[in-house]
Structure 1
Amino acid sequence: MATLRVELVAADQAVWTGEAKMVIAKTVEGEIGLLPGHEPMLAILGAGEVRITLEDGNVIKANAEDGFLSVENNVVAIVARNAALV
């Protein structure tokens, strides 16, 4: 099964990096769900929760605000001014 490589980074530290089967994040236009094979995109990150679903079904949650997220070739990069695991 294909996975996403997820990199969640705050301005001052790497918050979480790993493989996931789904990512849900809040953009300024609303919540977005990302699965393997998602079209390339760039979005402005809104303040809110990022949910990263791992292959085993566990979910990692983080609060993030002010930044962007990009998706390309099954790599999701979330770069935020502030981000922390919940």
Structure 2
Amino acid sequence: MAELDVDLVTTDRTIWAGKARLVVAPAADGEIGVLAGHTPLLSVLKPGTIRVRLAEGGSVEADIEGGFISVDSNRLTAVVDGATLRTGSVAEAH
């Protein structure tokens, strides 16, 4: 299955980066799901949870306070205002 390169960042640090099969994010107009091959996209994010299904299995979830998401050429970048990885997420083990 095709993969996305994902970067979840704040203005001063990387929260999580890696390969994903699917990213679901709380866009201003409702939740948006992004798979590899998605058309270019730029959207405002509202407070909520970003859910990342990892390419190798498992998932990462982060509660965010808003921000924006950019998608182009199988690369997704979410620049967020404040983010907290949820307890038990795969990313906390790394």
With structure 1 as the length reference, what TM-score do the two structures score? 0.94
Higher strand share: 1
The range that moved more, 21-30 or 57-66, is: 57-66
Q: Which residue does 2:21 correspond to in 1? A: 21
Give the superposed CA RMSD.
Answer: 0.9
Q: Hey, what does 1:85 align to over in structure 2?
A: 85
How much does 1:84 deviate? Answer: 1.9
Structure 2 portions without partners, runs of 5+: 87-94
Partner of 1:64: 64
Aligned counterpart, 1:2:
2
CA distance in 2, matches of 1:74, 1:84: 24
- Of structures 1 and 2, the one scoring higher in RCO (CA 8 A, sep 6+) is 1
Aligned residues: 86
TM-score normalised over the length of structure 2: 0.87
Q: What fraction of aligned residue pairs are identical, expressed as a percent?
A: 42
**1:36 aligns to what?**
36
* Structure-1 separation of matches of 2:66 and 2:60: 20
Q: Distance in 1 between matches of 2:57 and 2:15?
A: 20
- Residues 26-69 of structure 1 show CA distances to partners (whole Å, capped at 9, x for unaligned) of 01110000000000010001100000001233010001122100
Q: Compare the two structures and name the one with the higher helix fraction.
A: 2
Distance (whole Å) between structure 2 residues aligned to residue 56 and residue 5 of structure 1 = 13
Query: Would you identify which runs of 4 or more consecutive aligned residues in structure 1 move more than 3 Å?
Result: none
Could you tell me how far 1:6 is from its partner in structure 2? 0.3
The question of whether the paired residues in 1 share the 8 Å contact of 2:6 and 2:77 is answered with yes
